[in-house]
């Protein structure tokens, strides 16, 4: 598929952080931002994996070098790369215009496999 260049721009200033148990995004965001404060945005890839985005790539690299504070919330911290994914993330797709003779599970599975 095609890359979303806007997303690649902010992801290149982001860390992917993992915890061993599911965490609530709201309470984690409050704790990290009040205790750490350097990241601009926290997104959940799953209950276990989060993306922390910084104002600049330099700030992200500084956070990675001095990760002691982030170690309070995460067991694994690394820069985002294009191979990061989350096998537990689910997406709902709406398929429109399928003729009755094409309404077969295998056809929908082929469409979903593209994603």
Threshold 0.85, pTM exceeds: no
Domains and CATH numbers, the chain: 5-79 (3.30.70)
Asked if residue 38 lies in contact with residue 54, where contact means CB atoms within 8 angstroms, the answer is: yes
3-state DSSP call for residue 68?
coil
Ranges of the chain whose pLDDT falls below 50: none
64: left (phi over 0), alpha (psi -120 to 50) or beta: alpha
| Cα dihedral sign, 63-64-67-73 | positive
Element (H, E) at 77: strand 76-79
Q: What is the pLDDT of residue 52?
A: 92
């Amino acid at each position: 598929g095609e890359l979303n260049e806007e997303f690649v721009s902010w992801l290149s200033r982001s860390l992917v952080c993992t915890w061993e148990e599911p965490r609530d995004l709201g309470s984690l965001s409050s704790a990290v931002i009040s205790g750490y404060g350097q990241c601009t945005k926290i997104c959940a890839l799953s209950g276990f994996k989060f993306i922390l985005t910084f104002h600049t790539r330099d700030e992200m690299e500084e956070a990675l070098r001095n990760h002691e504070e982030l170690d309070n919330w995460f067991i694994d911290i690394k820069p985002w790369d294009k191979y990061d994914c989350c096998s537990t993330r689910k997406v709902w797709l709406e398929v429109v215009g399928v003729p009755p003779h094409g309404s077969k599970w295998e056809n929908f599975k082929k469409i979903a496999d593209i994603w």
